[in-house]
């Protein structure tokens, strides 16, 4: 039987500003990635999201982003490997502190937005991120976009990594995510996202925005919490996966 994790990028509110639908997506997930204050998230939202995730028995990961609240961490910022290292250690520590108070444990790390896009192609910054996670805990899994530089860097040193695919995001012909703003980069059709999720889990394939077939071996599928249809997509994806005989479980 095929087994796959379903993760949600979550906890991304900040003060009076709210982003995402944690309550509407958590019932369908097996793991969550909680923002740690740089692209989203503040102490109150981190506590709230962590409590909700623990209520649902979800595996909880840190979701470090670039220091860009205004741009929601999706604008390209040039960071050095040392800056990446410092920022990742800092953000992981913030969530570890909250989980420690609540009696939870940190399960994994996954980068957000432009940070993830950057390390998909930049070996030096990817190594800075990897060094940070490894120094915090050499056994702490790092979720990586399938086929990315970060995934290759983790494999090179034997650090545990988990390949990820995105049912509600379009792919470029080279296997990387299509840039937001380009036609087909974000998928809001619930049924289409569900069909793509099943194919990703069962066949390890998806068609790029130009029709080019892309292959990978993903162990987790991501639903972005800020997708305007996140709750409906999460429900449809989980239902379609279970109907196809796929077991959902945290990695």
pLDDT along the chain (251 residues), means of 10: 95 85 96 98 96 98 97 95 98 98 98 96 97 98 96 97 97 92 93 98 97 96 92 97 98 96
On the CB side of 247, CA atoms within 13 Å amount to: 6
Instruction: Answer positive or negative: Cα dihedral of 61, 73, 88, 169.
Output: positive
Q: Rg (Cα) of the chain, in Å, rounded?
A: 16
Let me know: does 88 contact 50? Beta carbons within 8 Å.
no
Separation of alpha carbons 133 and 108, rounded Å: 9
CATH number of the structural domain 3-225+242-248: 3.20.20.370
Phi-psi region of 240 (alpha: psi -120 to 50; beta: other; left: phi over 0): alpha
Separation of alpha carbons 226 and 63, rounded Å: 14
pLDDT at residue 54, as a whole number: 98
Closest C-alpha among 144, 131, 37, 39 to residue 84? 131
Phi-psi region of 4 (alpha: psi -120 to 50; beta: other; left: phi over 0): beta
Closest C-alpha among 56, 4, 2, 3 to residue 25? 56
Segments making up each domain of the chain, as ranges: 3-225+242-248
Bridge partners, 35 (sequence order): 63
pLDDT at residue 20, as a whole number: 83
pLDDT at residue 85, as a whole number: 98
């Amino acid at each position: 039987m095929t087994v796959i994790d379903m993760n949600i990028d979550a906890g991304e509110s900040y003060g009076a500003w709210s982003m995402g639908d944690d309550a509407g997506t958590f019932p369908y997930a097996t793991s969550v990635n909680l923002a740690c204050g740089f692209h989203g998230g503040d102490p109150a939202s981190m506590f709230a999201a962590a409590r909700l995730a623990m209520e649902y028995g979800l595996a909880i990961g840190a979701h470090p982003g670039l220091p860009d609240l205004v741009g929601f961490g999706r604008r390209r910022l040039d960071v050095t490997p040392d800056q990446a290292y410092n920022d990742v250690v800092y953000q992981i520590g913030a969530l570890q502190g909250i989980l420690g108070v609540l009696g939870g444990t940190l399960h994994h790390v996954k980068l957000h937005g432009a940070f993830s896009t950057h390390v998909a192609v930049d070996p030096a910054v990817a190594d800075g991120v990897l060094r940070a996670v490894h120094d915090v805990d050499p056994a702490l899994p790092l979720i990586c976009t399938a086929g990315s530089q970060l995934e290759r860097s983790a494999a090179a040193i034997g650090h545990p990594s988990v390949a990820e695919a995105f049912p509600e995001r379009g792919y470029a012909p080279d296997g990387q995510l299509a840039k937001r703003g380009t036609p087909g980069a974000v998928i809001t059709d619930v049924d289409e996202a569900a069909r793509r999720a099943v194919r990703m889990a069962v066949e390890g394939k998806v068609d790029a925005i130009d029709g080019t077939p892309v292959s990978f071996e993903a162990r987790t599928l991501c639903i972005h919490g800020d997708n305007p249809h996140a709750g409906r997509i999460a429900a449809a994806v989980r239902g379609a996966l279970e109907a196809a005989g796929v077991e959902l479980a945290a990695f």
